[in-house]
Amino acid sequence: MAGALDGIKILELTRVGPGAFCTMMLADMGAEVLKIEPPPTGKLVGSGASPRPDQARKLATSFTNRNKQSLTLNLKEPAGQAVLQDLAKSYDVLVEGFRPGVMQRLGGDYNTLSKINPRLIYCALSGFGQDGPYRDFPAHDLNYLSLAGVANLIGPTEGAPSIPLNIIADYAGASMHGVTGIMFALFARERTGKGQMVDVSYLDTTISLLAATPNVRDYFSDGVMPGRGNGVFGGGHAYYGFYETKDRKMITIGCTEPWLFENLCDALNRPDLKDCAMKEGDFSGPANERHAQARQELQKIFLTKTRQEWFDILTQADVCVGQVYDVPEVFEDPQVKHRQMAVELDHPVAGKVTQAGIAVKLSETPGSIRSFAPSLGQHTDDVLRGIGYSDVRIAELRERKIV
């Protein structure tokens, strides 16, 4: 069955996970993704891909590099830059994850390549974007979260903020917005016939994600922002937070709508706690003493049954409840299995391996896992032959360590 992006060809020049995850989502939907990496130096770089049998399992479970080809190319040499420019003539999209200015030094910036291929969509994922006073600064997920005001909203009231996994700025931010920007540009190209630059900043996207919550809305409208540990999502209100269960595991309650919290109170035979349902002002205000008392009462009740027992009881009572899993438990969950978010695949060397499935389900053009992550440079010769390079020329490039 054809994929949604069959026929779209993408060049990937990234060194970190968010860029690879961005192009993997496109590859899963049928795009042909060519990952360009430096030639081997004795270290595992880029995809971490080694053709050695003892590395087969690592390669087979490399989630973000599946459905891709790999070509090695030394872009520090003019001959390598010439190869990239030849490739760009026939590709639809280029995704790069360097700091601004690096691709210009490597002969692969947007201005250079768009002259060669005016239909090229060029997506640059960078910390602070292609302009502005911070554009050349190095940073990582936690730095973007702090600058976006997100970090100071995570964790208890006292002490330092909690450090979340790097899935906010890196993956929900850069990766997802990169995919969205590329799809916008592809759609626009259908009308105009022209490519364009897609400038994605990790900081910008993190601010955008925060702005989707009432936190920024309330700040812009009333000048009010919740302090860390306060507000609906601070964990102090009875209707939203963690509770320990009899088996020393945990559940989460997320009943922000008053009627859902009333369902919880009815299921626990505690109608006297219904006055603790969410009220106007809770988004920015601290939890009061009544909520602290209600949390204590709820905690005592939750200690009388196991995590699974409470999950079964409360889901039947139309209550927003979740079991706090560790990673192995996630992939044993019946809903996760039913949605095929863990898929078992047969690898020719490693045997049966498991990868995470495809999150976006399309009814007519579903995504697919067609190939495992490539070993470093696995497709170099085939790709170069495909753009007209002779075996003699390829051998010369190898001799010069260009590929």
Q: What CATH number is associated with residue 264?
A: 3.30.1540.10
Q: Which domain holds residue 292?
A: 232-244+250-323
Q: Compute CA distances 262 → 49, 55, 141, 265, 289, whole Å.
A: 53, 54, 38, 5, 19
Tell me: do 132 and 279 sit in the same domain: no
pLDDT tens digits for the chain (403 residues)?
789 999 999 999 998 899 999 999 999 999 999 999 998 765 444 444 544 555 667 777 788 999 999 999 999 999 999 999 999 999 999 999 999 999 999 999 999 999 999 999 999 999 999 999 999 999 999 999 999 999 998 988 888 899 999 999 999 999 999 999 999 999 999 999 999 999 999 999 999 999 888 878 778 887 777 778 888 888 889 999 999 999 999 999 999 999 999 999 999 999 999 999 998 878 777 888 999 999 999 999 999 999 999 999 999 999 999 999 999 999 999 999 999 999 999 888 888 889 999 999 999 999 999 999 998 899 999 999 999 999 999 999 999 999 9
166 falls within a domain:
yes
CATH for 82? 3.40.50.10540
Tokens linked to 165: 């996994």
In a domain, 168, yes or no: yes
- Judgement on whether residues 181 and 259 belong to the same structural domain of the protein: no
CB-CB neighbours of 279 under 10 Å? 11
Residue 319 lies in a domain: yes
- Number of domains into which the chain is organized: 2
Distance from C-alpha of 138 to C-alpha of 128, rounded to nearest angstrom: 9
Shared-domain flag, residues 176 and 138: yes
What the block records as the tokens of 157 is 């009231």
Please tell me whether residue 232 adopts helix, strand or coil conformation: helix
DSSP secondary structure string for all residues of 149-173: T-GGGSS-SSSSPP---TTIIIIII
Please tell me whether residues 21 and 135 are part of one structural domain.
yes
Cα–Cα distance measured from residue 30 to residue 81, given in angstroms and rounded to the nearest whole number? 27
Query: Which long-range contacts (C-beta less than 8 Å, at least 24 apart) are formed by 339-343?
Result: 343/369
Same domain, 307 and 378: no
365 and 312 within one domain: no
In this structure, the answer to whether residues 163 and 293 fall within a common structural domain is no
Residues marked as catalytic? 140, 170
Count CB neighbours of 152 within 10 A.
14
